């Protein structure tokens, strides 16, 4: 092909425009093109919105609204990361809003799990909730029997209002921790002092990119652009993953690694780098502590043969990878969240970080060991911070391990947990050990869930309160990957009787105080847009180059000076250096060095590892259940290698039971050579009318790290071993 | 030679994210089970090394549209610019086109009892915009082209795409490069 891509594209668009002009296209009304009828004076406006989901990309969106109805949601090109497009989930938003399945008004269920729902008014809902809270307070002398379980359903900042609701009632029990990424966070916290990644747009400047256990083609589509740009500039892209993912399909080279052995590969590479003196001694001397100890460990304990045996990657491949990585500058590693969902996941991340450090790729433009960042989150959390009412019993909230939620809730004593408040979460679908979770729900006196749809958690609640979508309530969003901040405007009036978390908090507070004066400190009124303004302080305005927060009405803003993480060597560790040797790690019970920790192994009874990665059409339990998504894919499947299938007499499309000691899933077989023979893959998502839940087989095994930064270790989701049989 | 509007499908850039299919539903507000643009997995060993590669297809705005040929009520029109449009109000829902199109393009809408399909977002083209699917593709893997001026150097087909001889589709492809498994 000799047409340059850019000119070609432009040319194509121009041709299109010219052709269109002379035609008689308006002669007939067409399917789908019929807009709101009748008025003749329709009002059209475009609003800024932000996608608040638990996703790398946190898209800046533009929403076209005509006569109060959303017509089209598209990307905002002012955000150069999301670059004018939204992913498949962003594109489904009109349906998220207008789906007939939305919960429309508060409802009460007569008998948890019966499906016997009745519509109630907001006032009735508030009254019933407030009475239950007051009853608990009276009976137990404190509000600790109330437990909040809220997490990643909506990361928009005002949604921290739900934590605020709890604080304003007194001291409560709180699901603490985060399920998915804490092992890696702690690992980077030991190494660098915290998590900071380089602006992902800088990936375009890399000459060598390792995508290590990350699948942006499905989970961070916009980053693929910068990877493509790097490729166009001559960079080599290598994917390391147990699965040949769609991202791997775009790479130059793919290394299929046995799950959970990533640290062994990294240490094997380090050994080669050490033996061949390809490390950056200068950088290490100036910026790190413990490199001599690390090199000593590698020298005495690591061989390439061992690494090859562990990982299933040939010695020559490790050698070439190590040489290319160490000698091509800048080299970027993107460390995925999937690869740290193991009992040695944090250690593996530390070993990978070490590669970036010893080769002098830390602080280098286009380099780095990039995992995530929280630097752009310096809001006031005004919606969240509210004092306990005067005279509240106790001193502090009680932490309940989010990652062992059911067991911890059931075990809680003095006082026990009697009431759950669930917001932005679907634990009955998404937590491990579903059976135990259901038991915990059944043991409660009272369960309130705030949600958009009738999901598995709502089914086990007493009261459900209908939540707004991002289009119906104002807010502000940032990402944990890129550095853009987007204002989220109220594009349409809230549908039905839906309310945001902050409005719910205000309403409940009014009722609490009506029933017992002084029992809740949450404000009972306030303008939501003004409240968005209250989230800002001088520092965050400065960081984003804003004079006042309202400047965001002109478009998203990007945090300054985030192009290259750690470029000034300003590590936030106790030593202020990069810590290959971390005393902090030791304090938390780990080896101070990034040593290899044995991975979990299969057993005779359950010989296959079952990986349950993110699915392209959902984020956890959000999206896939919408009918628009089901039009694209309506059937789950288990991916397995044809050799494994043959061994078990399974053919393509056969129903297969995937099981272990805690449960099973029955699902169709999809045979593919892109997965390894001893590993099967099911995607974590749910379908509205199917009893499909990968967590029926997933145990709440803690990952090795997470306690330091997030309070609790993560979950080793991918250390799940199963057996399979044809049904 | 007259204008022949159609699509370029760059499977080298396509990441299989389905944004395009959903953008089409988003923009055209299609009924829940209707999909006008589909992202297909290319058979994993089509190029030897098993891999995950995809192609995104909608109506190919064929030179010899089988849909039009089959329709008893003249619901289909081939415009001068090559875009094949389906006039819904002339459609009696007999589904002849559905069976005739080799690419599974026309979709029968159970609610409307009529067929519908991609019209290349011609009304957006008129405004100087790209089709909704094209402008929503995060990797610029699809775009509208005039195949009469596009020149050679592109593929006429990819593995799994029906024989282009049948209807002379106005679509060109860029082949995916295949990852090397080490
Ligand atoms: S949006 Fe683009 S990259 Fe995604 S599936 Fe469609 S054509 Fe491929
Ligand atoms: S792809 Fe099918 S529907 Fe489209 S013009 Fe060709 S024959 Fe007709
Ligand atoms: S051109 Fe328009 S109608 Fe055709 S597939 Fe794309 S978005 Fe849909």
DSSP letters for A347-364: HHHHHHHHHHHHTT-TT-
Query: What pLDDT does residue A22 have?
Result: 30
What distance in angstroms lies between residue A101's CA and the mean position of ligand 1's atoms?
Answer: 28
CA B141/CA A400 separation, integer angstroms: 46
Annotate A413-459 with three-state secondary structure.
CCCCCCEEEEECCCHHHHCCCHHHHHHHHHHCCEEEEEECECCHHHH
Q: What is the pLDDT of residues B118-158, one digit of tens each?
A: 999 999 999 999 999 999 999 999 999 999 999 889 999 99
Q: B-chain residues within 8 Å CB-CB of A19?
A: 3, 5, 81, 125, 146
User: Which of A12, A86, A90 is opposite residue B144, by nearest beta carbon?
Assistant: A12
What are the angstrom distances between the C-alpha of A427 and each of A101, A179, A435, A614? 20, 11, 11, 16
Residue A114, CA atoms < 13 Å, CB-side half-sphere: 10
Query: Any idea which residue has 């390809």 for tokens?
Result: A278
Distance CA B146, CA A16 (A): 8
Q: How far apart are CA A545 and CA A553, in angstroms?
A: 14
Q: How far apart are CA A88 and CA A616, in angstroms?
A: 8
Strands (E), A568-716: 578-579, 608-611, 637-640, 655-660, 663-671, 679-682
pLDDT of residue A574: 97
C-alpha to C-alpha distance for A461 and A112, rounded to whole angstroms: 6
Quick one: pLDDT at residue A26?
29
**Confidence at residue B2, expressed as pLDDT on a 0 to 100 scale:** 85
Q: Which helix (H) or strand (E) holds A406?
A: helix A405-411
In chain A, the N- to C-terminal Cα span, in Å, equals 50
Q: Name the phi and psi angles at A17, rounded to 5.
A: -60, -45
- In DSSP terms, A150 is beta-bridged to A423
Task: In whole angstroms, give the CA distance from residue A355 to residue A302.
Answer: 14
Task: Using the mean position of ligand 2's atoms as its centre, give its distance from the Cα of residue A15 in Å.
Answer: 22
Largest CA distance in chain A: 80
CB-based contact B146 A19, cutoff 8 Å: yes
Give the mean pLDDT of A199-215.
97
| C-alpha–C-alpha distance, residues A255 and A239, integer Å | 6
Task: Round the average pLDDT of chain A to a whole number and report it.
Answer: 92
**Contact between A23 and B180 using a beta-carbon 8 Å cutoff:** no
- Whether ligand 2 lies within 6 angstroms of the CB of B115 is answered as no
Residue with tokens 């589709």: B169
Please check the confidence at residue A1 and state whether its pLDDT lies above 60. no
Whether B143 sits inside 8 A of A9 (CB atoms) is yes
Q: Do A29 and B89 touch (CB under 8 A)?
A: yes
Q: Answer yes or no: do A616 and B18 touch at CB < 8 A.
A: yes
* Confidence check: pLDDT of A8 > 50: no
Peptide bond into A47 cis (omega under 30): no
Query: Which residues 6+ apart lie within 8 Å of A126 measured at CB?
Result: A507, A508, A510, A511
Does B175 contact A at CB distance below 8 Å?
A: no
CB pairs under 8 A between A and B: 216
Q: Tell me whether residues A217 and B114 touch, CB distance under 8 A.
A: no
Q: What is the DSSP letter of A512?
A: H
Question: What would the mean pLDDT of A576-591 be, rounded to a whole number?
Answer: 97
Query: Could you give the CA distance from residue A248 to residue A7 in angstroms, rounded to a whole number?
Result: 29
From the list B3, B30, B52, the residue facing A19 with the nearest CB is: B3
Contact A218, A648 (CB under 8 A): no
Nearest Cα of chain B lies from the Cα of A98 at a distance, in angstroms, of 11
C-beta separation of A315 from A262 below 8 A: no
Of chain A, the percentage scoring pLDDT greater than 70 comes to: 94
Tell me, yes or no, if B146 comes closer than 8 A to chain A by beta carbon.
yes
Exposure pattern of B94-114 as b/e (b: 16+ CB <10 Å)?
bebbbebbbbebbbbbeeeeb
Residue to mutate (ligand 3; options B24, B130, B142; most atoms within 8 A of CB): B24
Q: Could you tell me the two tokens for B1?
A: 């030679």
Nearest Cα of chain B lies from the Cα of A46 at a distance, in angstroms, of: 14
Question: Is pLDDT at A35 greater than 60 in this prediction?
Answer: no
Task: Tell me whether residues A249 and B135 touch, CB distance under 8 A.
Answer: no
Residue A18: the pLDDT is 29
- φ, ψ of residue A146 in degrees (nearest 5): -95, 130
SS3 content of chain B, % helix, strand, coil (to 5): 20, 20, 60
Confidence of residue A38 (pLDDT cuts 50, 70, 90): very low
Is A237 a residue whose pLDDT tops 70? Answer: yes
- Reported as a single tens digit per residue, the pLDDT across A51-91 is 999 999 999 999 999 999 999 999 999 999 999 999 999 99
> Residue A364 in contact with residue A329, Cβ under 8 Å?
yes
Is residue A10 over pLDDT 80?
no
Q: What is the pLDDT of residue A32?
A: 34
Whole-angstrom distance, CA of residue A74 vs CA of residue B135: 9
Instruction: Look at residue A561 in the predicted model and tell me its pLDDT.
Output: 96
- CB count within 10 Å of CB A229 equals 15
What phi, psi does A656 have (nearest 5°)?
Answer: -125, 140
Q: Are B13 and B176 in contact (CB under 8 A)?
A: no
* pLDDT tens digits, one per residue of A456-467: 999 999 999 999
Distances (CA, A) of A30 to B75, B101, B170: 11, 20, 22
Q: For the packed helices A345-358 and A291-301, what is the interaxial angle rounded to 10 degrees? A: 110
Nearest CA to ligand 3 atom 7: B24
- Residues of chain B falling short of pLDDT 70: 1
Cβ contact, residue pair A16, B125, below 8 Å: yes
Q: What is the pLDDT of residues A103-160, one digit of tens each?
A: 999 999 999 999 999 999 999 999 999 999 999 999 999 999 999 999 999 999 999 9
In this prediction, residues A368-391 reach a mean pLDDT of: 94
How far is CA B178 from each of CA A332, A379, B175, rounded to the nearest angstrom? 22, 45, 9
Partner-chain contact B29 A228, CB within 8 Å:
no
pLDDT for residue A625 is more than 90: yes
Q: What is the pLDDT of residues A276-285, one digit of tens each?
A: 999 999 999 9
Q: Is the CB of B105 under 6 A from ligand 2?
A: yes
Do B52 and A248 meet the contact criterion of CB atoms below 8 Å apart? yes
Cβ-Cβ contacts under 8 Å, B52 against chain A: 244-246, 248-249, 674
Structure confidence at residue A20 (pLDDT): 30
Q: What's residue A31's pLDDT?
A: 32
> What are the helix (H) ranges across A255-312?
262-275, 281-287, 291-301, 304-311
Contact B25 A248 (CB under 8 A): no
Strands A637-640 vs A663-671: parallel, antiparallel or unpaired? parallel
pLDDT in tens, A408-446: 999 999 999 999 999 999 999 988 888 999 999 999 999
Q: What is the per-residue pLDDT for A29?
A: 30
A627 with B135: Cβ contact below 8 A: no
Q: Which residue of B has its CA nearest to A225?
A: B139
Return d(Cα A488, Cα B11) in angstroms, integer: 34
Res A9: pLDDT: 32
Question: Residue A12 pLDDT > 80, yes or no?
Answer: no
Q: Which of A5, A20, A61, A74 best tests the B interface by mutation, with the highest count of B CBs <10 A?
A: A20
Ligand 3 centroid–CA B131 distance in Å is 6
* Alpha helical stretches, state H, A141-280: 161-167, 182-192, 216-219, 221-232, 262-275
Residue A341 pLDDT class (50, 70, 90 cuts): very high
Place A21 in a pLDDT band, splitting at 50, 70 and 90. Answer: very low
- Cβ count within 10 A of residue A397: 20
Name the DSSP letter for residue A113.
T
Task: Supply the pLDDT for residue B1.
Answer: 58
Q: How many CB atoms lie within 10 A of CB B156?
A: 14
Atom 6 (ligand 3): residue with closest C-alpha? B133
Q: Which atom of ligand 1 is closest in space to residue B21's alpha carbon? A: 6
The answer, for B44 touching chain A at a CB cutoff of 8 Å, is yes
Residue carrying the six token digits 């007999």: B94
- B143 burial via Cβ count (<10 Å: 0-12, 13-18, 19+): buried
The answer to whether B107 faces chain A, any CB pair under 8 Å, is: no
> What's the token pair of residue A460?
């086990």
Q: Residue A423 corresponds to which tokens in the numbers above?
A: 């917001």
Q: How far is the CA of B54 from the centre of ligand 1 (A)?
A: 8
A263: closest CA of chain B, how far (Å): 18
Question: How is residue A117 written in tokens?
Answer: 């729902």
Q: Is B64 on the interface with A (CB under 8 A)?
A: no
Ligand 3 pocket (Cβ < 6 Å) reads B 24, 27-28, 36-37, 58, 118-121, 131-133
- Which protein residue's CA is at the shortest distance from atom 8 of ligand 1? B14
Cis peptide before A415 (omega within 30 of 0): yes
The backbone torsions φ and ψ at residue B108, rounded to the nearest 5 degrees and listed phi first, read -85, 120
Of A348, A340, A379, the C-alpha closest to A540 is A379
Q: Which atom of ligand 1 is nearest to the CA of B55?
A: 8
Query: Chain B residue closest to A226 (CA)?
Result: B139
């Amino acid at each position: 092909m000799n047409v340059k891509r850019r000119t070609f594209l432009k040319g194509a668009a121009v041709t299109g425009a010219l052709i269109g002009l002379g035609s008689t296209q308006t002669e007939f009304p067409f399917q789908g093109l019929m807009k709101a009828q009748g008025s003749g004076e329709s009002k059209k406006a475009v609003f800024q919105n932000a996608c608040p989901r638990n996703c790398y990309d946190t898209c800046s969106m533009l929403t076209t609204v005509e006569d109060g109805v959303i017509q089209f949601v598209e990307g905002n090109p002012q955000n150069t990361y999301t670059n004018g497009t939204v992913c498949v989930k962003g594109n489904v938003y009109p349906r998220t809003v207008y789906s007939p399945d939305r919960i429309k008004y508060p409802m009460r269920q007569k008998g948890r799990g019966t499906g016997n729902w009745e519509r109630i008014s907001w006032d009735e809902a508030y009254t019933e909730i407030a009475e239950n809270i007051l009853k608990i307070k009276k009976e137990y002398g404190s509000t600790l029997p109330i437990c909040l379980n809220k997490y990643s359903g909506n990361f928009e900042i005002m949604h921290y209002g739900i934590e605020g609701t709890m604080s304003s009632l007194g001291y409560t029990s709180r699901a603490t921790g985060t399920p998915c990424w804490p092992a890696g966070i702690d690992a980077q916290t030991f190494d660098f002092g915290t998590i900071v990644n380089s602006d992902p747009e800088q990936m375009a400047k890399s000459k060598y990119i390792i995508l290590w256990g990350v699948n942006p083609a499905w989970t961070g589509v916009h980053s693929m652009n910068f990877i493509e740009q790097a490729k166009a500039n001559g960079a080599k892209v290598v994917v390391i993953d147990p699965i040949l993912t769609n991202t791997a399909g775009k790479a130059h080279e793919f290394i299929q690694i046995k799950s959970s052995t990533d640290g062994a590969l990294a240490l094997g590479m380090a050994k080669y780098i050490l033996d061949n003196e390809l490390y950056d001694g200068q950088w290490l001397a100036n910026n790190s502590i413990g490199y001599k100890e690390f090199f000593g460990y590698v020298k005495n304990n690591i061989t390439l043969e061992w690494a090859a045996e562990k990982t299933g990657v040939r010695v020559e491949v490790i050698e070439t990878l190590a040489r290319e990585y160490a000698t091509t500058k800048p080299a970027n590693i993107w460390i995925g969240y999937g690869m740290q969902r193991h009992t040695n996941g944090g250690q593996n991340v530390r070993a990978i970080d070490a590669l970036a450090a010893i080769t002098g790729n830390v602080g280098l433009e286009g380099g780095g060991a990039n995992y995530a960042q929280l630097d752009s989150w310096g809001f006031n959390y005004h919606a969240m911070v509210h004092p306990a009412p005067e005279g509240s019993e106790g001193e502090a909230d009680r932490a309940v391990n989010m990652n062992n939620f059911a067991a911890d809730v059931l075990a809680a004593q003095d006082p026990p947990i009697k009431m759950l408040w669930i917001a932005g979460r679907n634990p009955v679908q998404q937590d491990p050990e579903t059976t135990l979770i259901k038991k915990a729900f059944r043991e409660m006196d009272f369960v309130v869930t705030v949600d958009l749809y009738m999901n598995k958690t709502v089914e086990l609640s007493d009261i459900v309160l209908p939540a707004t979508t991002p289009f119906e309530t104002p807010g502000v969003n940032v990402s944990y990957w890129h550095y853009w901040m987007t204002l989220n405007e109220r594009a349409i009036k809230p549908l039905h009787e839906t309310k945001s978390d902050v409005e719910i908090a205000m309403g409940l507070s009014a009722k609490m105080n009506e029933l017992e004066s002084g029992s809740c400190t949450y404000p009972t009124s306030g303008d939501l847009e003004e409240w968005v303004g209250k989230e800002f302080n001088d520092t965050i305005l400065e960081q984003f180059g804003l004079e006042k927060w309202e400047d965001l009405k002109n478009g998203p803003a990007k945090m300054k000076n985030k192009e290259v993480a750690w470029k000034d060597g300003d590590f936030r560790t106790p030593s202020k250096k990069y810590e290959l040797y971390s005393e902090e790690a030791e304090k938390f019970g780990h080896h101070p060095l990034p040593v290899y920790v044995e991975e979990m192994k299969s057993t005779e009874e359950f010989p296959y590892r079952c990986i349950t990665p993110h699915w392209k059409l959902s984020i956890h339990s959000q999206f896939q259940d919408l009918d628009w998504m089901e039009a694209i894919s309506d059937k789950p499947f288990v991916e397995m290698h044809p050799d494994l299938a043959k061994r078990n007499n399974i053919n393509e499309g056969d129903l297969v039971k995937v099981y272990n000691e805690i449960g099973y899933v029955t699902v169709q077989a999809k045979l593919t050579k892109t997965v390894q023979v001893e590993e099967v893959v099911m995607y974590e998502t749910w379908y509205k009318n199917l009893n499909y839940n990968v967590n029926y087989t997933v145990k709440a095994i803690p990952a090795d790290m997470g306690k330091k930064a997030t309070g609790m270790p993560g979950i080793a989701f991918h250390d799940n071993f199963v057996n399979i049989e044809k049904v | 030679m007259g204008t022949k509007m159609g699509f370029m499908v760059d499977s080298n850039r396509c990441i299989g994210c389905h944004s395009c299919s959903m953008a089409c539903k988003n923009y055209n507000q299609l009924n829940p089970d209707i999909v006008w643009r589909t992202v297909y997995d290319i058979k994993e060993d089509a190029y030897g090394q098993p891999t995950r590669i995809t192609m995104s297809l909608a109506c190919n705005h064929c030179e010899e549209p089988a849909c039009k040929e089959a329709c008893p009520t003249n619901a289909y029109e081939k415009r001068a610019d090559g875009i094949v449009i389906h006039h819904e109000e002339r459609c009696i829902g007999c589904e002849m086109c559905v069976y005739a199109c080799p690419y599974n393009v026309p979709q029968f809408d159970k609610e409307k009892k009529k067929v519908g399909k991609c019209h290349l977002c011609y009304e957006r083209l008129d405004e100087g915009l790209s089709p909704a699917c094209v402008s929503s593709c995060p990797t610029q893997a699809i775009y509208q082209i005039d195949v009469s001026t596009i020149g050679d150097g592109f593929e006429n087909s990819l593995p799994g795409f029906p024989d282009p001889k049948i209807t002379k589709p106005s679509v060109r492809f860029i082949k995916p490069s295949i990852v090397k498994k080490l």
